[in-house]
Amino acid sequence: MRRTDREIKDPAFFKDVFDKSSILTVAFNDGEYPYCVPLNFAELEGALYFHCAREGHKLDCLARDPHVHFNAFDNLEVETVKATIFYRSVSGTGVAEIVDDEQLKKNVFAAIMNKYCGTPEIPPFKKPEKTHVVKISITSLTGKQHAKPAV
């Protein structure tokens, strides 16, 4: 990292950014070019989880290569006068796999619902049994922050 003065190594920082970030952008190996997708997600016990359809390009990529890169951020604020952006971000790598454990899938859906809707209840029109849950086991993390100066 070039700006080591902005590097954050505290695990509590990583968890806080994951908890407050609305989107996890995940890059999959698609051969010649990366395939990068914004996803809703939850962090549970040191791993990242997202849900997806039971078929599609993400799963095709994962079947060829389970290694992924991801990024999450929060507190994004553009300062036009100073031509800068304030933020907190986490980037990392991991290995992705489809979750087979039904109880873990339910826990992940409850965590995602709680994060985005404020309740762990899964609405009846959502069909967890018709989707996959993917776990990203984190292999590396880097935190970075450009904090807004105190006034």
Contact 105, 50 (CB under 8 A): no
pLDDT reported for residue 70: 98
Range with the lowest mean pLDDT among 4-8, 20-24, 25-29, 78-82? 4-8
61, 71, 90, 78: which is closest to 25 by C-alpha?
71
Is residue 141 scored above 90 in pLDDT? yes
Is residue 11 scored above 80 in pLDDT? yes
Q: What's the pLDDT band for 142 if we cut at 50, 70, 90? A: very high
pLDDT reported for residue 2: 67
Q: Which tokens go with 81? A: 């006068």
pLDDT tens digits for range 75-130: 777 778 778 878 789 999 999 999 999 899 989 999 999 999 998 888 777 777 78
Q: Which tokens go with 135? A: 């776990």
Kindly state the percentage of the chain with pLDDT values over 90.
65
